[in-house]
Structure 1
Amino acid sequence: MFYMHMNAIIAMIGMVAVLMLTRRWANNKRILMLIFSLCFLLLFSQKLFVFYAVYTVINYLGFIYLCRTSVWRKTAFIFGIAANVVGVFLGVRFFVMGIFHNPMFDAVIYLGLIYNVLKVIDAYYFAYFFGKDGEVPALDYANYVLFIPTFTSGPILKFRDFMADTKKPYTVDAKLFEDSVKRVILGLFKKIVLVTWMTSVFDHVLKGELYTLQSVFLLIWFYAIIYFDFSGYSDMAIGFGRLMGYTMPENFKKPFLSPSMTQFWRNWHATLGDFFRDHIFMFFSRKAPSRGLASALSILIMVLIGLWHGFTWLYFFYGLYHGLILAIENWFKITTVQRKKVSKTYFYFRCFVTQALVTISVIIYSSNYETVLRIYRGLFHFTAG
């Protein structure tokens, strides 16, 4: 991750300074950001630079073809998405699992691909539904794919929003500058201080014998670690993105105050949930879906989100578990709770139930079968001896 390298942090700070010094140049962020992104990748890894140069050019050609063609549009649309999902997404997962090996590739090639594939797919959707009106210059498309602040860990940028920002001149006033710098510092504190300390505590407790209290503690503690880790990266990406002149979407919107699982997934890693909801619902149902279809799509979306995190049975069942809860909420029409229309007791009770359901499953993010099973077994190990 770029944000764990001090040289990368210094480089991004330097880029912000350059943009501020050239703010009177109308196209400064369009041209300078692409130069910065390319140089950044080249210095980080020559292999990564070559891969992303080729990957971006190929997908831009597919994007332009989809914008301009009137023949076989749906076929081209499906092929472009399938090529990215099968050729890139599954390739990443199989490489990580040790199934796929090729001397031409190594781990650095796959840096950021899991996020960037989703961005490329969003661009294909835009081209498909807007046609020639959705066409953009290669410069802006490359900036979108290679945007360094969100390159490795999101938030997932929407193509339409990024292009709208691209047309605006670079403007960062004193208030935005102050808020963004504070956001970056908060993210660094979460990731470097909190997560490091909390992980050492988690590992220490995990080494001992696990009983009910220890397992409950580890489940809650790991949930907090994941939150500070994910939200810390998002804070840094949002802060630097805004300092570079682009509006960054919020990724965590007070998820602990979510009174239903449906609302939780609108508040936790929100851009990921939004991506799957927008693109899956758009593909399968252009109109408001029935309860049955909404329930089925909820299961499908959550299974896909689970497999997006990792191509393993652990993540499959994680997605299925959340999908079934969302399906139940859709079926019984309990997906939302309006805080102003219910009592505080009921609202916070629903929040507690939602957090309990999340807490019991979030340990899956450890991606370690032995750790997951030990903690779950410990829940039923009530007394010592």
Structure 2
Amino acid sequence: MFYMNMNAIIAMAGMVAVLMLTRKWAGNKRILMIIFSLCFLLLFSTKLCLFYAVYTVVNYGGFVYLCRTTVWRKAAFIFAIAANIIGVFIGVRLFVMDIFHNPLFDAIIYLGLIYNVLKVIDAYYFAYFFGKDGQVPAIDYANYILFIPTFTSGPILKFRDFMADSKKPYSVDSALFEDSVKRIILGMFKKIVVVTWMTGIFDHVLKQQELHTHESLFLLIWFYALIYFDFSGYSDMAIGFGRLMGYTMPENFKRPFLSPSMTQFWRNWHATLGDFFRDHIFMFFSRSVPTRWVASGLSILIMVLIGLWHGFTWLYFFYGLYHGIILAVENLLKITTVNKKKVSKTYFYFRCFVTQALVTVSVIIYSSNYETVLRIYKGLLHFN
């Protein structure tokens, strides 16, 4: 959302300039970033700023407690995770779906929570597994939660990586600066030019009274490309600004169209989201190697959770279930990966084609519109 607001873009560019001018000050990145984040949120919305100030303080208290306590650690850990998921994550989805109403809240309060609650959970995992060794200063924790470049769009930052960067002095050389600026421009071009143009064409074709097979196929493929440019455009801008502010940003899209299996697709498409769910569910099975049946069941669970993360609807539930079943089958048949160097090009690209076909059929779910999804699927059966 911030990246569609020119004032926000200018503010972030101004912050980069300030960081570069004060780079000789050892603490510039840590101190100036928290001031910038709070001022940015305050100017955007006073209510939003106050909410996140309280939300961050409360969760930091829970984080410190989990680091220090030796009594009922697992219970405290589970309670902290559940409180965020139930009280925040589900709450935002119900509010956005117009199911939950409360005069104390409005949509602006929930801005960014879908991403930030995952960061809070990652911090709790860090505290639980590292104990006293995992405790960090409040300013670094706050910078992690309130980091503006990834506040509303991801990529999802890992707590340990962000803390490692916080200890390093601000440093952006000419090569990194050039690459980051190009990344921001590319992201803006994708989001403002390409997505706007593609959305117009998609809506134009969809307006036809009756869809035929070729039109539905076109819409499925077109929407897949549209979603890619939309998501990756946001990621490009976030990565560019994040790196200019002195932090390492993980790649969110790693050539997903050249994925020869659904397993590899989800390591390349919205990669940080898939990594988050894999890391935080499989972590409890790290002491023993799960069987293929257990791993397949976990794959289905993870994908259903990823589906519901996008929205509490049957569309997203079945979207996650569909991908989870494919991942489970790949696991059971031992076809989760393909080494390009050990197979023929024909076989490799055939597997890529099959994977993309499976993705294309389901990606229209991201439209979040039952009527649109049903019209396009029905159109596939209209051959005349």
- TM-score bracket, shorter-length normalisation: over 0.9
Q: Report what 1:360 is aligned to.
A: 361
Q: What's the offset of the Cα at 1:98? A: 1.2
Structure 1 counterpart SS, 2:341: helix
Q: CA deviation at 1:288?
A: 2.4
Q: Partner letter of residue 268 of structure 2?
A: N
Distance 1:313 1:135 in 2: 40
Matched, 1:330 2:336: no
Cα-to-partner distance string for 1:54-105 (whole Å, 9 max, x where unaligned): 0000000000000000000000000000000000000001101111100110
Distance 1:285 1:330 in 2: 18
Instruction: Name 2:235's counterpart in structure 1.
Output: 234
The residue type paired with residue 207 of structure 1 is: K
The residue number in structure 2 matching 1:157 is 157
Whole-angstrom distance in 1 between the partners of 2:75 and 2:154: 29
2:219 is aligned to: 218
Match of 2:27 in 1: 27
Residue 377 of structure 2 is aligned to residue 376 of structure 1: yes
CA deviation map 1:323-379 (0-9, x unaligned): 000000011110000100000000000000000000000000000000000000000
Q: Tell me the secondary structure at the aligned position of residue 152 of structure 2.
A: coil
Shift of 1:29: 0.4
CA deviation map 1:109-154 (0-9, x unaligned): 0000000000000000000000000000000000000000000010
Alignment correspondent of 2:10: 10
Q: Residues 50-69 of structure 1: matches in 2 within 5 Å?
A: 50-69=50-69
The amino acid across from 2:18 in the alignment is V
Match of 2:105 in 1: 105
Q: How does 1:283-302 map to 2 (within 5 A)?
A: 283-302=284-303
Q: d(CA) in 2 for partners of 1:301 and 1:85?
A: 15
Equivalent residue runs for 1:197-216 within 5 Å = 197-208=197-208, 209-216=210-217
Name the count of aligned residue pairs. 383
Match of 2:271 in 1: 270
Report the Cα offset of residue 283 of structure 1: 2.5
SS class of match (1:190): helix
Q: TM-score scaled by structure 2?
A: 0.99
Structure 1 counterpart SS, 2:228: helix
Counterparts of 2:364 and 2:99, CA distance in 1: 24
Return the alpha-carbon distance in structure 1 between the equivalents of residues 344 and 287 of structure 2: 36
Offset of 1:287 from its aligned partner? 2.8
- Displacement of 1:285 in angstroms is 4.6
Secondary structure at the counterpart of residue 339 of structure 1? coil
Q: Name the CA distance, whole Å, in 1 between partners of 2:46 and 2:121.
A: 25
TM-score by length of 1: 0.99
- CA distance in 2 between counterparts of 1:338 and 1:121 reads 34
Task: Map 1:178-197 onto structure 2 (within 5 A).
Answer: 178-197=178-197
How well do the aligned residues superpose, as a CA RMSD in angstroms?
0.5
Q: In the TM superposition, what is the alpha-carbon distance from 1:289 to its structure 2 partner?
A: 1.6
Gaps of 5+ in 1: none
Q: Which amino acid aligns with 1:132?
A: K
Q: Are 2:301 and 1:308 aligned?
A: no
Unmatched segments (≥5 aa) in structure 2: none
Alpha-carbon distance in structure 2 between the residues aligned to 1:247 and 1:287: 32
What is the distance in 1 between the residues matched to 2:158 and 2:37? 18
- Which residue pairs with 2:129 in the alignment? 129
Distance in 1, matches of 2:364 and 2:307, equals 13
Determine the structure 2 residue equivalent to 1:119. Answer: 119
Q: AA paired with 2:97?
A: M
Q: Which residue in 2 is equivalent to 1:70?
A: 70
What is the alpha-carbon distance in structure 2 between the residues aligned to residue 104 and residue 24 of structure 1? 44
Percent of residue pairs identical? 85
Specify the code of the residue in structure 1 equivalent to 2:124: Y
After superposition, give the CA deviation of every residue in 1:263-289 in whole Å (9 maximum; x if it has no partner): 000000000000000001112453322
Give the secondary structure class of the aligned counterpart of 1:201: helix
